[in-house]
Amino acid sequence: MAHQRWAKRKGTVAERDLISLFWDNDWSAHRIAGSGSSRYPSPDIIAGTPLRKLAIEVKITKESRKYFTAEEIDGLRFFCEIFGSEAWVAVKFPKVPWYFFSLEDLKPTGKNFAISTDDISIKGLLFEELIK
């Protein structure tokens, strides 16, 4: 139970870090509290300008690969279709800045999806590239 609280707190801190990045760059952004426990699909963060809306699933990991459940990705895709936003996954790997991936960049692994540090230079966008 203590590990789950620590992981949840780590995720919350990561989400707040991204919120600050968006606001510091003249984007509006909001963290969706309890996004993983709602019965409705919802991203971790929504961010936007008058011209763009983003819905973002946020992950932080100590590993070189991060997995996403099909349910997480399907929920994000569904939310974005209804909300009219772009779907993105933000991953913070060890010793590198935030990277953002489109859902098409994720590799199917059977029932789930994955992204790794090997993918960041090929498919990932840095924050500055994402908000252009």
Q: How high is the mean pLDDT in each 10-residue block of the chain (132 residues)? A: 58 91 98 77 96 96 95 96 98 95 96 95 96 95
Which pLDDT belongs to residue 39?
Answer: 83
pTM listed for this prediction? 0.89
- List, by residue number, the catalytic residues: 35
pLDDT at 6: 47
Token pair 């990705």 in the structure block, residue: 73
Residue 57: what pLDDT? 96
Residue with token string 């699933």 = 57
- Rounded Cα distance, 49 and 13, in Å: 23
Q: Are strands 86-92 and 99-102 parallel, antiparallel or unpaired?
A: antiparallel
The pLDDT, as a whole number, for residue 95 is 93
> Could you give the CA distance from residue 40 to residue 61 in angstroms, rounded to a whole number?
25
What is the chain's alpha carbon radius of gyration, rounded to the nearest angstrom? 14
Q: Given the DSSP bridges, would you call strands 107-108 and 112-116 parallel, antiparallel or unpaired?
A: antiparallel
CATH of domain 2-130: 3.40.1350.10
Q: Which residue has the tokens 């870090």?
A: 17
Q: pLDDT value at position 129? A: 97
The domain ranges of the chain are 2-130
Contact 97, 126 (CB under 8 A): yes
